[in-house]
Chains A and B, each alone.
Chain A
């Protein structure tokens, strides 16, 4: 069997020799036009005059487009039809594309884009959460509220209360390969787009819509991305549409690649949050009631902000069973880049709110934070807990005009028909119908909770108790440098919360020489998805993965795909590929059984051979034999996740197929004079189910942790008072470097098969480990609290400045 093997990436030899091609590496076709946007210089207001003549006169310029020169609005939004490709005269953020230049070279286009003369009538810009609240500038009519239990009553009777607030900064994706698109005009007005995208179907859909073409006239292809992290779920739409519009209008190929500064200035980032909390608890630290208010800065357009904010609510309790919870979520509209998907999709922010509560509570009680966490964990999974799989989807799209809906986007809004009357329905929500109370604030029974065992194991392997004492000793002996150590758990829900996105397709061909061609709807961005799916296919046929060739994701091969997001890539596409392979294998077995007087179930595919009683042959011979018998060796496969049932308005149901778990212990040291800090040691234990490929999964876990810790430490986005992003290059925006990884870094997989029926019982591993980085933030908080008697109220990201401020607060 070739699953569960630590095989390297399918394209490894290409990557290490520079032969692996990304969109910008595709040889530029002759006659290709290069595009650049001219950007708004103010954050809010109107354009009063737009003089593009100097742009047109610049050397190399072939065409210049303002909004009125486009075939229509050319909307780029994945949700709300509120993102015209070019400004319609109103300006919503500093960096908004105002016009488009097509020139004979990338440099010529960029230089010309600087030459426009634009005058504005500026309006006051809403930049912060506070300003948005004051102006009631928001998406949706009011805050979403989900409730479990009687929060007011529990809070009133709780023996102890605690309250506080945490500010959480956003995060730039900094995919090392910037956004890029290349559009090639075809006969009959058709378009082929090579786009660096996590969501080819979305690109196809939005390009077709912009050009008023049927989707069959547009094909999107993507072999690989140089990192995505959510930043290429919707943010590539503008480039794909711009290149397609120009290619369509001029009949010439068109290419667009954002320069790094433009990329950071134009595209959306992780949402920043403020989370206020009020907690009722008993003297032991048991939670009785928690009231969260989440403020989400969404930026100027809706994009994917609603499901992001939903997911923050869905992870607001993280791993803890709380009798009474209220979560209020404000989705605020500001004059900044439209915040978008980013690894974890709001989950990390929601989870950090909860972990802040646990940290604050433990410090205020003077107890060990791990003890307090364990006291409040969900109940452990029973020895074998069956996974519900009979409920059917109730999310209905009836009555929504499909032409108006981007059905394949997470930004789709089916709630228009799915019970909008119950918008504030938390209070009216039905009581849990399940037995012993072990339910989330949204009423989902937690049946697979692994954190009790995982915590035990990690505390031993990381030598936690002993090191806590050593840290205390160190802090007693050192006045300048202080150490901190912290544990944090992760429980992350796997599935798209827009239920109908939980589907996938695959296309498999077996050729007469026994080689296999595999295509599926997932995209490769470094997570090793292609390799994992190839391993699944190879093991179905009992052949070497090298015999399986995975080709570029292509909307012409597998249609109507969902974004490669929500960690779902291998869960969904692995199952679809498995179904396609099994169809072919079944046909081969039937055929060979007939030829060699065996029963189909006696035909075995293993170790490169096909065996049946009295006969055996290589897989290649079998393929040739079956072909000669005129049997089809090509099949599609389809998969949809069972058992999902979710009403996002009421905040009730089963949005997730299963949970993935993880736990981390991080130790840090801070310099209390400068705020400088370092991660000394990190111990991670992560649940990947029965891992499809341990090497790839460990890479994802390490990378996720470092990126999560980066989000909460050095990665600070700064906008000035005019709304200009000041941190728009790696010189000012600090992502972790090689020397920032922990000095000691121990990563282990929790090896237990997924209780849910996933492909080979594996678990999704793309997003969950990101949140292990929260332990680094908590360790810094611990170090700061060693400086004095007060709670340090550390702000995220914990930059040197914020750590110094926290140290001062701790001292009082």
Chain B
């Protein structure tokens, strides 16, 4: 089945079995192995990418459902010699150990910061009408879909704080 995707700004045409997940399409058909497979069940967040700016577990969605969509993966967020502010903050704050969850954490956090600035409330937001503040509680709640077995959580939260401060 033919699917057209814009991946990190580049038009790609894929001819796939319709049952192919977006994650497998990225990893196996496009060679973009930055998105990781931690569980393949939508439970760990290692495969998080952004589709039309919103974060999504790429293992839980089929590639053919995204015909015409814009997909941003970790490779599209920055390169080793051209890091995004969030990527820089993950480096300077040591936001990882083994690094396997890191691409998912960064994609997730990138979209999450946008959600906050768009005023989306979360489960822990006290004032649903007002602006969500970027507290550690908010970050933890909104990032709780991204597991880190090394438990680099304190530094992940710190890195997100740091990057958000820079953006602001």
Contact = CB atoms under 8 A, between A and B. Distances in A.
Contact of B91 (A12, A527, A739, A747): A12
Contact of B153 (A21, A175, A178, A706): A706
A739 B144 contact: yes
B33 A25 contact: yes
B62 interface: no
Interface in A4-24: 6, 8-9, 11-22, 24
Contacts of B81: 13
Interface of A: 6, 8-9, 11-22, 24-25, 27-28, 173-178, 224-229, 259-260, 525-528, 695-696, 699-700, 702-707, 710, 729-731, 735-739, 741, 745, 747
B140 A741 contact: yes
B50 interface: no
A176 B38 contact: yes
B116 interface: no
A29 to B, nearest CB: 13
A738 B43 contact: no
Nearest to B90: A16
Given A16-B106, A703-B97, 12 more contacts: A12-B91, A15-B96, A16-B88, A17-B75, A25-B27, A176-B36, A176-B150, A224-B99, A699-B155, A729-B43, A730-B39, A739-B144
20 contacts: A9-B94, A16-B106, A17-B77, A17-B80, A18-B74, A19-B34, A28-B28, A176-B98, A224-B99, A226-B99, A227-B97, A227-B100, A526-B150, A699-B97, A702-B152, A702-B155, A730-B147, A735-B149, A738-B157, A747-B154
A731 B44 CA distance: 9
Interface majority SS (helix, strand, loop, mixed), chain A: loop
Q: Which of B38, B98, B145, B148 has the most CB of A within 10 A?
A: B98
Given A8-B92, A14-B80, A27-B31, A224 B98 contact: yes
B39 A17 contact: no
Contacts of A24: 33, 37
A226 B98 contact: yes
A176 B141 contact: no
B89 to A, nearest CB: 9
Interface residues of B, number: 59
Contacts of A19: 34, 75, 79-80
A260 B41 CA distance: 9
B139 interface: yes
A793 B73 CA distance: 49
A17 B74 contact: yes
A294 B97 CA distance: 34
B147 A176 contact: yes
Given A176-B101, A707-B151, A741-B140, A17 B78 contact: yes
Nearest to A19: B80
Contacts of A702: 151-155
Interface of B: 27-28, 31-41, 43-44, 46, 73-75, 77-81, 83, 87-88, 90-92, 94-103, 106, 139-141, 143-157
B79 to A, nearest CB: 6
A434 B32 CA distance: 62
Given A226-B98, A738-B143, A730 B87 contact: no
A183 to B, nearest CB: 19
Contacts of B143: 738-739
Contacts of B31: 27
A177 B97 contact: no
Contacts of B96: 9, 15-16, 526
A808 to B, nearest CB: 30
A177 B98 contact: yes
A228 B83 CA distance: 28
B1 to A, nearest CB: 16
Given A260-B41, A707-B149, A729-B43, A15 B99 contact: yes
A18 B103 contact: yes
Given A16-B83, A17-B77, A22-B100, A738 B90 contact: no
A226 B98 CA distance: 5
Contacts of A227: 97-98, 100, 149-150
Nearest to B88: A16
Contacts of A229: 149
Nearest to B41: A729
Contacts of B157: 738
Q: Which of A13, A18, A527, A704 has the most CB of B within 10 A?
A: A18
Nearest to A707: B151
Contacts of B35: 18
B149 to A, nearest CB: 5
Nearest to A177: B100
A22 B31 CA distance: 13
A616 to B, nearest CB: 32
A739 B141 contact: yes
Contacts of A526: 96-100, 150
Contacts of A736: 151, 153
A731 B151 CA distance: 18
Q: Which 3 A-B pairs have the closest CB atoms?
A: A18-B34, A526-B98, A226-B100
A71 B35 CA distance: 37
Contact of B144 (A8, A11, A12, A737): A737
Nearest to B38: A176
Identify the interface centre among B35, B43, B99, B102: most chain A CB within 10 Å of its CB: B99
A173 B149 CA distance: 8
A735 B145 CA distance: 12
A20 B95 CA distance: 15
A703 B106 CA distance: 19
Nearest to A730: B43
Most buried by B among A25, A226, A705: A226
Given A18-B33, A18-B74, A699-B152, A735 B98 contact: no
A739 B140 contact: yes
A525 B98 contact: yes
Q: Select the residue from B31, B38, B46 with max chain A CB neighbours within 10 A.
A: B38
B39 to A, nearest CB: 5
Contact of A20 (B90, B99, B148, B151): B99
Contacts of B88: 16
Contacts of A12: 90-91
Contacts of A696: 94
A18 B94 CA distance: 15
B87 to A, nearest CB: 4
Given A225-B98, A699-B152, A16 B44 contact: no
B151 A741 contact: yes
A678 B6 CA distance: 43
Contacts of B141: 739
Contacts of A178: 37-38
Given A13-B80, A738-B146, A177 B41 contact: no
B148 A17 contact: no
Contacts of A228: 98
A695 to B, nearest CB: 5
A16 B75 CA distance: 9
A363 B35 CA distance: 50
Nearest to B78: A17
Contacts of A16: 74, 78, 83, 87-88, 90-91, 95-96, 102-103, 106
